[in-house]
Amino acid sequence: MILHGLKQATGGASVSIDIFQNKINNVSPTNTIDDTDTLQLYFNDALVFPGLINSHDHLDFNLFPKLGKRIYTNYTQWGAYIHQQFKYEINNVLQVPSELRIKWGIYKNLLCGVTTVVNHGERLSLDDALITVYEDTHDLHSPAFEKAWKLKINNPLKRKLSVVIHTGEGTDEEAGDEIHRLISWNILHRNLIGIHGVAMNTQQANHFKAIVWCPQSNYFLLNKTAPIHQLKHNTSVIFGTDSTLTSDWNIWEHIALARKTSLLTDEELYNSLTIEPSKTWGLNTGQLTPGKDADIVITRRKDKKKDLDAFYEVSPADILLIMHQGKIRLFEQELLPQLAPDLRGMHFSLVKINGSFKYVEGNLEALISEIREYLPEFVFPIEIIGRQII
């Protein structure tokens, strides 16, 4: 398949991208590739960038509404508060079978152009997920909520895996001390990837391979985020959303907020969603170059804005096509005539998102109606129009 008429989000070059099986085969100045055997898909100066990498989510927690009504000093205070105040709401969501909650968590990410999500928690080991669910890590919840974390972190059998752990999610002294304890107890010098790090200082950042920055969740809970403008000099900064317990379903809202803080430059923020996490997790994505996995997002360019300015204007309604590992997972309705020969026999759902119609792989109608058996009031950000076998 060759995708024509694209403008890169970095550098702004006009390109055509040739995909062979699950890889990018060639990226060249637009319309110079001539291979008539393959499907050619034409866009009109659309924006193209690598599928986004969401480095922190809890896929099974995305049917929760945001829980919490005030600002907390740390995550243990918030945790105690919500379990006391929102017992009914929490139990109500947890009665939905986890398989359904996880499926929705995957769609939450896919609808925004996320093609890799790093799930935190128990291993899900999903077959045939619509996006990459990266789990090749040793996840510990946090020093406060993970029992025997000091033993687990020093388990020699797991020493090759990075330890991914919530840490420093607070504004009080305890949050800073917790990071200190974590570093001191890492006797085997395992690779540490810290989630949140709101209370982290630059010295502590030196001990982490990366920090997962989740600004929207941080502001919701603590009205403060990590000093990323300082930490970025000492560790790698990668971007995460966390679940809808503490943030919006739509990663583009998170990205807009992150940009507003000016803690990263436009380029650094873009890299925190693409090349940086690709390096941290050891993925073959995050760049549009030959040999990389074909994880690609194509969107409209609002007001013909250029490069990263166009990237930061994207919303899910603007997405024209999402490719994951060379497979088309989502596309704008108007592309159906061009794509139909290639997608024949596949199941897609037609959905409306903010006035725009998209085909999304799989049976979203069935998923939503199954979830509604448990949560009749849940408001999904999409409207189902129908489904069809193409």
Which positions touch Zn ion (CB under 5 A)? 242
In the complex with Zn ion, which residue's Cβ is closer, 27 or 214? 214
In the complex with Zn ion, which residue's Cβ is closer, 79 or 290? 79
In the complex with Zn ion, which residue's Cβ is closer, 167 or 171? 167
For the bound state, the minimum distance from the C-beta of residue 382 to Zn ion, rounded and expressed in Å, comes to 24
For the bound state, the minimum distance from the C-beta of residue 136 to Zn ion, rounded and expressed in Å, comes to 18
For the bound state, the minimum distance from the C-beta of residue 240 to Zn ion, rounded and expressed in Å, comes to 8
3-state secondary structure of 96: coil
In the complex with Zn ion, which residue's Cβ is closer, 242 or 295? 242
For the bound state, the minimum distance from the C-beta of residue 56 to Zn ion, rounded and expressed in Å, comes to 6
In the complex with Zn ion, which residue's Cβ is closer, 60 or 242? 242
Residue at shortest CB range from Zn ion: 242
β-bridge partners, 191: none
Three-point CA angle 136, 141, 147, nearest 5°: 115
How many CB atoms are closer than 10 A to CB 263?
20
For the bound state, the minimum distance from the C-beta of residue 13 to Zn ion, rounded and expressed in Å, comes to 37
For the bound state, the minimum distance from the C-beta of residue 256 to Zn ion, rounded and expressed in Å, comes to 20
In the complex with Zn ion, which residue's Cβ is closer, 16 or 76? 76
